[in-house]
Amino acid sequence: MVNTRTDVDLSAVVQNTLQTLLLQIRAEIREEFRAAEEGISLYSPDEY
């Protein structure tokens, strides 16, 4: 037998958790790109 209320609650929890994880992943990716861009700007092959 299916408990619809429990399924709806579980679905909401899973959706909220995934949304939170997605936001964290996006923030980490932005940070990695920012750090990589800073590293690239520190190294300029024209100076050598």
CA–CA distance, 23 with 33 (Å, rounded to integer): 16
Domain coverage including residue 18: 4-42
AA letter at 11: S
CA–CA distance, 26 with 12 (Å, rounded to integer): 21
In a domain, 47, yes or no: no
pLDDT surpassing 90 at residue 12: yes
Helix (H) or strand (E) holding 27, with range, is helix 4-42
In a domain, 36, yes or no: yes
* Domain count of the fold of the chain: 1
Six-digit token string for 44: 């300029």
pLDDT at 14: 97
pLDDT at 28: 95
Q: What is the pTM for the complete model shown?
A: 0.64
pLDDT at 43: 63
Region 5-29 average pLDDT? 96
In a domain, 48, yes or no: no
27: confidence class by pLDDT, cuts 50, 70, 90 = very high
CA–CA distance, 20 with 26 (Å, rounded to integer): 10
What's the distance, CA 5 to chain centroid? 30
pLDDT at 18: 98
